[in-house]
Amino acid sequence: GQQLNQSPQSMFIQEGEDVSMNCTSSSIFNTWLWYKQEPGEGPVLLIALYKAGELTSNGRLTAQFGITRKDSFLNISASIPSDVGIYFCAGHRNAGNMLTFGGGTRLMVKP
């Protein structure tokens, strides 16, 4: 089952606000991935993180690989209505090929 705790489960924010969500685990991961899923679509990769402490940006999105390797966070600055969707974190341990997914954060943006 899921071993990544993702929070918050949902967020309803005003357009222009910044957003922060995170994933934590009791186990160490060597890769953290952040995906966005829109209704009726598959998850789309936003950011990939491969080193502890790594901070990576993709436009208004910034993600960090926690120093302990047990957590990661995603920030979205100046949210816009098209940011609406479900954001998933996923971790990989190098043991086999399986990703472990968080439960998702549902983001809703009010214009």
Binding site for other proteins (CB under 8 A): 1-2, 30-31, 33, 35, 40-45, 48, 50, 88, 90, 92, 94, 96-99, 101-104
Q: Which amino acid is at 27?
A: S
- Closer by beta carbon to other proteins, 77 or else 106: 106
Nearest to 94 by CA among 69, 66, 58: 69
Percentage helix, strand, coil for the chain under 3-state DSSP, each rounded to 5: 5, 55, 45
Q: How far is the CB of 69 from other proteins (least distance, A)?
A: 12
- Closer by beta carbon to other proteins, 56 or else 77: 56
- Closer by beta carbon to other proteins, 29 or else 73: 29
What are 6's two structure tokens? 């993702």
